[in-house]
Structures are given as structure tokens and as C-alpha cells.
């Protein structure tokens, strides 16, 4: 799950069941069926050993390759491991020293604040622009919709490692096309503009990259979701004299609420731990001013060889994420109980 929202599902089924996300011309003229009971409507299905057998491989895999490393990580965070200890493979116990060092370090808090700001800005932009483009897709004619959705699929499919290189090239100081674009548009000072001059400007470029790569997921799913909102609902709203804004809040939003919940959830996770984009863009620089939590952990752990400290950072990162996301977990659990 290293990535931004590339390559995820074309459409989550309940959110946007039947319709095509990217290629709207696919015929889906399903003749009406009665509302089908979604699930759980049937009688309770047999229990016994079968379900345990079915989930066993998954549980086993998660336990050995996820839970075990996580536990190991927590143990590391309680040890004092630097280059010497790491090479000698002797790991002295350090208690909570790594944690107290971190919590008392202003750099750590700067990084935490930056991570939140980065996540907030990115997710807000992705959700707002993605939804708008989804709505636009829904309003376009066939041909134009195909053009736009193909462009979106292209951006969506770009592997991150490749797209980071491309953005490097686009924003290159000497020969980048963006400097040319700015010059052509009549701005001065773009002869040799360094786009990654400061931490903030680096973050802006990274944001453009992340938003560019993530919008397609939201837009295409939004469009798929919109097609499930029956035309008669729009008609009804129109007859009631609702304007576009009201239609959105009264008809579209309630119908697509699950879509917004799930997509926001995924985007928050993906952006918060967007390591590759940030690290590969400028290694967290200049002067460590574009480090977000995962990058901070990597620089401290790998480059500075403070392995114990880095483990503590990663544990705190996980804790922060879980706390922030607990709202969603509660929603999910509630849903489970209802069934």
C-alpha cells in the first residue's frame, strides 16, 4: 500500500455499482429489476469450520508478514540502536528514551504539523477537484467524456516512480518545460527558476504531483456514482425549482455519502503516508524542510542510522493515524453490528 490512489478499484461496487468508470460508452442498459435486497437478507448461512478455513491463509499471512514486523518495530523503538549496535547486533534496552527524546524535540512537532497540513491540503484539493471533474464528466457529451476520461486514466495509470521522474524533468531548473511555460505566459524571473528553492515550494510541487495522480480515482468513481442517481431524481428536483447547488446538496450528496466517506478515508491514508513522492522528489529537502512523518522516519533511520529512534517515529506515526481514523473505524463497526 505504498502508493497514492492509483490503481485502486474502478468503482467500489456498492458506491457505484454497475456503470463503467472510465469508458462510459459501454452499454449498460439494464432493464429494470425490482430492488434487490442487498445482502444479509437471506437466512443465516451455515457456520462451522468452513469460514475459519477460508480466512486462515489470510490471517496467517497478515500475522507473519505484518503483525510480526510491527511487533518487532515496537521492540526496536524501545532499544538504543545506532550504527555500532546495528552492526554488532547487540541491542541494549532503552526504555522510553527514544519516545521522550522525540516528544521533546521541536523538529518532530514541526514535522507532525507539516504532515497534517500536507494531508489536509491534498485531500481537500483532491476531493473538491475530483468531485467537480466527476460532475463535469456526467454533464459532458459522449465524445468529450471519452476524451477526458481517457486523459484521466492515463494520469491514473502512471507508476509513481516514473511520474516523479517526469515531474523532476518538467520542473527542471535549467531546461524544464514549466519555466518555458511561465516565460511564454509573460512572467519574468523564470529564466532559471528553481522550483524547489524552499521547503514550501517543494511541498507545492509535491502537492501538484499527488493531486494530479489522485484526482482520476475520485473523479471516475464520482462519475460512476452519479450515473446511479436516477434521472428522475434530477427531474423532480428541477421541478421543485432547485438550482444546481441545491440539487447537489439535496440529491447528489446524500446518495453518494458512502462514496465520499470511503474515498476520503482512502485518500487520507494514502496521502498521509505518501513516502515515495516526497522522498524521491527532493529527499525531504532543502534543509529537511519538506519532510513528512514517513520521510522523517526514513531519514533518521536510514541516513542517520538511528534505528531505534526511527522505529519510535514509525510507531507514533501509526498511533496518530489510528487516532485520526478512529472515527471511520467506528462507522465501519457500527455497520457490522447492524448486519
- Residues 263 to 322: which contact other proteins by CB under 8 A? 269, 273, 275-276, 280, 283-288, 293-294, 297-299, 301-305, 307, 310-311, 313-314, 317-318, 321-322
CB of 203 to other proteins, least distance (A): 15
Residue 169 is given by DSSP the state H
Q: Phi, psi at residue 93, to the nearest 5°?
A: -70, 140
Q: Closer to other proteins at the Cβ: 51 or 95?
A: 51
CB of 113 to other proteins, least distance (A): 18
Taking the C-alpha atoms of residue 269 and residue 324, their distance in angstroms, rounded to an integer, is 10
CB of 247 to other proteins, least distance (A): 10
Taking the C-alpha atoms of residue 35 and residue 230, their distance in angstroms, rounded to an integer, is 13
- Single out the residue of 117, 120, 161, 200 in contact with other proteins (rule: CB under 8 A): 161
CB of 79 to other proteins, least distance (A): 11
Listed residue (259, 236, 260) closest to 246, CA to CA = 236
CB of 61 to other proteins, least distance (A): 5
The vertex-14 CA angle with 11 and 17, nearest 5°, equals 55
Residue 44 is given by DSSP the state P
Q: Is residue 192 at the binding interface for other proteins, with CB under 8 A as the rule? A: yes
Site for other proteins in 234-253 (CB under 8 A): 234-235
CB 257 within 8 A of CB 46: no
CB of 119 to other proteins, least distance (A): 13
- Single out the residue of 110, 207, 228, 264 in contact with other proteins (rule: CB under 8 A): 228
Task: Classify 177 as helix, strand or coil.
Answer: helix
Site for other proteins in 10-29 (CB under 8 A): 10-15, 17-23, 26-28
CB of 95 to other proteins, least distance (A): 19
- In angstroms, the first-to-last Cα distance of the chain is 29
- Single out the residue of 128, 166, 200, 236 in contact with other proteins (rule: CB under 8 A): 166
Q: Phi, psi at residue 285, to the nearest 5°?
A: -90, -175
C-alpha cell at 249: 446538496
Taking the C-alpha atoms of residue 333 and residue 339, their distance in angstroms, rounded to an integer, is 10
Taking the C-alpha atoms of residue 19 and residue 11, their distance in angstroms, rounded to an integer, is 8
CB of 249 to other proteins, least distance (A): 17
- Single out the residue of 120, 230, 244, 246 in contact with other proteins (rule: CB under 8 A): 230
Q: Closer to other proteins at the Cβ: 120 or 319?
A: 319
Q: Closer to other proteins at the Cβ: 113 or 151?
A: 151
Which range touches other proteins (CB under 8 A), out of 36-44, 98-106, 114-122?
36-44
Q: Is residue 52 at the binding interface for other proteins, with CB under 8 A as the rule? A: yes
CB of 295 to other proteins, least distance (A): 8
With contacts defined by CB under 8 A, how many residues of the chain interact with other proteins? 162
Q: Closer to other proteins at the Cβ: 124 or 333?
A: 333
- Single out the residue of 130, 216, 267, 271 in contact with other proteins (rule: CB under 8 A): 216
Q: Is residue 207 at the binding interface for other proteins, with CB under 8 A as the rule? A: no
Write out the DSSP string of 48-104. Answer: SHHHHHHHHHHHHHHIIIIIHHHHHHHHHHTB---HHHHHHT---B-TTHHHHHHHT
C-alpha distances in Å from residue 92, one per residue of 77, 95, 310, 311 = 11, 9, 16, 14
Amino acid at each position: 500500500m505504498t502508493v497514492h490512489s492509483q490503481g485502486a478499484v474502478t468503482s467500489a461496487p456498492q458506491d457505484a455499482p454497475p456503470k463503467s468508470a472510465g469508458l462510459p460508452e459501454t452499454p449498460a442498459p439494464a432493464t429494470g429489476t425490482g430492488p434487490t435486497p442487498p445482502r444479509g437478507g437471506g437466512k443465516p448461512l451455515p457456520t462451522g469450520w468452513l469460514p475459519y478455513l477460508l480466512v486462515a491463509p489470510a490471517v496467517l499471512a497478515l500475522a507473519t508478514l505484518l503483525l510480526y514486523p510491527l511487533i518487532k518495530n515496537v521492540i526496536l523503538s524501545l532499544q538504543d540502536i545506532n550504527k555500532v549496535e546495528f552492526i554488532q547486533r547487540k541491542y541494549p534496552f532503552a526504555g522510553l528514551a527514544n519516545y521522550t527524546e522525540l516528544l521533546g524535540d521541536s523538529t518532530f512537532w514541526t514535522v507532525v504539523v507539516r504532515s497534517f497540513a500536507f494531508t489536509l491540503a491534498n485531500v481537500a484539493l483532491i476531493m473538491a477537484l475530483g468531485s467537480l471533474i466527476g460532475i463535469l464528466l456526467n454533464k459532458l457529451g459522449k465524445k468529450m467524456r471519452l476524451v477526458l476520461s481517457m486523459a484521466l486514466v492515463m494520469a491514473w495509470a502512471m507508476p509513481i516512480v516514473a511520474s516523479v521522474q517526469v515531474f523532476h524533468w518538467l520542473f527542471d531548473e535549467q531546461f524544464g518545460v514549466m519555466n518555458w511555460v511561465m516565460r511564454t505566459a509573460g512572467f519574468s524571473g523564470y529564466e532559471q527558476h528553481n522550483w524547489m528553492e524552499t521547503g514550501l515550494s517543494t511541498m507545492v510541487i509535491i502537492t501538484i504531483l499527488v493531486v494530479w495522480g489522485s484526482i482520476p480515482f475520485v473523479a471516475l468513481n464520482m462519475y460512476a456514482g452519479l450515473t446511479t442517481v436516477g434521472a428522475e431524481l434530477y427531474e423532480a428536483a428541477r421541478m421543485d425549482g432547485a438550482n444546481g447547488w441545491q440539487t447537489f446538496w439535496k440529491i447528489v450528496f446524500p446518495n453518494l455519502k458512502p462514496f465520499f466517506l470511503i474515498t476520503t478515508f482512502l485518500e487520507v491514508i494514502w496521502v498521509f503516508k505518501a513516502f515515495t513522492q516526497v522522498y524521491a522528489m527532493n529527499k525531504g529537502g532543502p534543509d529537511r524542510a519538506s519532510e513528512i512523518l514517513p520521510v522523517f522516519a526514513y531519514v533518521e533511520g536510514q541516513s542517520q542510522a538511528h534505528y531505534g529512534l526511527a522505529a519510535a517515529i514509525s510507531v507514533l506515526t501509526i498511533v496518530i493515524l489510528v487516532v485520526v481514523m478512529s472515527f471511520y473505524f467506528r462507522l465501519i463497526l457500527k455497520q457490522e453490528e447492524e448486519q
